[in-house]
Amino acid sequence: MPITPFHFGPGLLFAAVAPGYVSWTIFAFANVLIDLEPIALYFLTGDPAHPWLHTPPGAVAVAVATALLGRRPCEAFLRWWNRQFSPAQARWLAVDPAITATQAWCGAFVGTLSHILLDGIMHVDVRPLWPLLAANPMQGAIDIDALYLVCVAAGCAGAVVLVVLAVRRI
Of residues 136, 142, 150, the one with CA closest to residue 50: 136
Q: Is 75 in the site for Zn ion (CB under 5 A)?
A: no
Segment contacting Zn ion by CB under 5 A, of 13-21, 32-40, 85-93, 131-139: 32-40
Q: Is 35 in the site for Zn ion (CB under 5 A)?
A: yes
Pick one of 119, 122, 136, 151: the residue that binds Zn ion (CB under 5 A): 119
The Cα 2–Cα 59 span in angstroms is: 17
Segment contacting Zn ion by CB under 5 A, of 39-47, 115-123, 128-136, 143-151: 115-123
Segment contacting Zn ion by CB under 5 A, of 62-70, 79-87, 111-119, 137-145: 111-119
Q: Give the nearer residue to Zn ion in terms of CB position, either 15 or 30.
A: 30
Single-letter amino acid, residue 3: I
Counting residues that bind Zn ion (by CB under 5 A) gives 2
- Rounded to a whole number of angstroms, the minimum distance from the CB of residue 5 to Zn ion is 12
| C-alpha pair distances (Å), 71 with each of 12, 63, 64, 65, 128 | 18, 12, 11, 10, 26
Q: Give the nearer residue to Zn ion in terms of CB position, either 35 or 75.
A: 35
Q: Give the nearer residue to Zn ion in terms of CB position, either 71 or 115.
A: 115
The Cα 128–Cα 4 span in angstroms is: 17
Query: Would you say how long the chain is, in residues?
Result: 170
- Rounded to a whole number of angstroms, the minimum distance from the CB of residue 19 to Zn ion is 25
The Cα 145–Cα 56 span in angstroms is: 25
Q: Give the nearer residue to Zn ion in terms of CB position, either 26 or 162.
A: 26
The Cα 160–Cα 11 span in angstroms is: 14
Q: Is 11 in the site for Zn ion (CB under 5 A)?
A: no
Single-letter amino acid, residue 120: G
Q: Give the nearer residue to Zn ion in terms of CB position, either 78 or 128.
A: 128
The Cα 164–Cα 170 span in angstroms is: 10
Residues that bind Zn ion (CB under 5 A): 35, 119
